[in-house]
Structure 1
């Protein structure tokens, strides 16, 4: 079943749209607060489709992702009971939230950096940072560093690899996509 290849083809078409950078900014912001799909799935095709703008897209993604992280921080700080808790329950993130609290207690600043760079759900950590009233400036600095490293790495790989990367990515996209889905399910079952 070529589900991921079809989605990738659509993303390449959308990446050429004149409003693609605005959509990328909006998705970057939303992904850091509540949106469940990583913004990389939009950034990578845009960087491949327009390699001369790859780093500009990475910068845009980084800025709006950090701004979304700041919104998540204040959401956690100011509206945990009425908004965040019901959302955590609805999306099934309660266990992730407890895990995030434990990680903050153990590693502090480094948790935000790790969540910003890795595929760990950054949004859970932004909200948790606000709930726990983690120091704001270190939170922002860790977010800037972690998110920028991640998105510039994606942009660089897509720009550097160009048509060869696109060919190999396209060839193995469904295998990679289904492997990531399987890994996510396994991680969920282990954490749960």
Structure 2
């Protein structure tokens, strides 16, 4: 099923409506969808490099709006909507573990790391942010910074290196972003330990 979903998402890049689909995928990825918008963003950017910055902007705005929807799901409709979504993706246990173990500051850090590297998955953190009553303004600012950094960095890589960077992005960027997110979490933990 996951492979078919991935293939379907890739096929959207060839359509005239690709930009609208990018917005849809970026929106739903932040609250309920499994496949990241990068899967659509990469082939679109390679096919039309002159539109890379526009695509990054569209993906950022839609992703932030999707994150806000996830926040509202967690805040106002956790039992009715968010919990079944998390159960469907097998993320409810991860969500419950995060909810029980993180404080306000840690949750904001997770929002940034999930926005940059999908660690933990962005949909889990957006819903958790709403359920934990994270300030919506702070949530929006951190989502803009994290998601914008991700999409504009991808746009820069594609603009600078073109097709050769695609394999690297698809295979290694997640690992590198994960290592970066891990370092950010380690620095935060060290700061909290020292303070």
Normalised TM-score (structure 1): 0.78
Who is 2:50 aligned against?
52
SS in 2 for 1:38: coil
User: What is the CA–CA distance in structure 1 between the aligned matches of 2:104 and 2:150, rounded to whole Å?
Assistant: 24
Structure 2 residue matching 1:144: 3-state secondary structure: helix
Q: Matched residues in 2 for 1:32 and 1:158: separation?
A: 23
Specify whether residues 104 and 25 from structure 1 end up closer, same or farther in structure 2 by C-alpha distance, changes over 3 A only.
farther
Q: Counterpart of 2:34?
A: 36
- Once the two structures are superposed, the pairs formed by residues 1-192 of structure 1 within 5 Å of their partners are 7=7, 11=10, 14-101=12-99, 102-105=101-104, 107-120=106-119, 121-166=121-166, 169=167, 176=171
Does the 8 Å contact 2:107/2:129 carry over to 1?
A: no
Query: Could you tell me how far 1:45 is from its partner in structure 2?
Result: 1.0
Work out whether residues 29 and 68 of structure 1, in 8 Å CA contact, stay in contact via their aligned partners in 2. yes
Q: Which structure 1 residue ranges, 5 or more long, are not aligned?
A: 184-192
Aligned equivalents of 1:103 and 1:40: distance in 2? 28
CA deviations on 1:68-110 (whole Å, 9 max, x unpaired) are 0000000111111111112222221122212432234451422
For residue 162 of structure 2, give the secondary structure of its aligned residue in structure 1: helix
8 Å Cα contact 2:12/2:21 also seen in 1: no
- Alignment RMSD (CA, Å): 2.9
Tell me if structure 2 keeps the 8 A contact 1:100–1:124: no
Number of paired residues? 170
Structure 2: distance between partners of 1:74 and 1:7: 30
Q: What CA distance in whole angstroms lies between the structure 1 residues aligned with 2:63 and 2:46?
A: 20
Contact 2:108 2:139 in 1 (8 A): yes
Question: Comparing both chains, which one has the higher relative contact order based on Cα–Cα distances under 8 Å and sequence gaps of 6 or more?
Answer: 1
**Structure 1 outlier segments of 4+, above 4 Å:** none
Residues in 2 aligned to 1:104 and 1:124: alpha-carbon distance in whole angstroms: 15
Cα separation, 2, equivalents of 1:123 and 1:19 = 25
CA–CA distance in structure 2, aligned partners of residues 95 and 106 of structure 1 = 21
Q: Is the 8 A contact 2:22 2:41 kept in 1?
A: yes
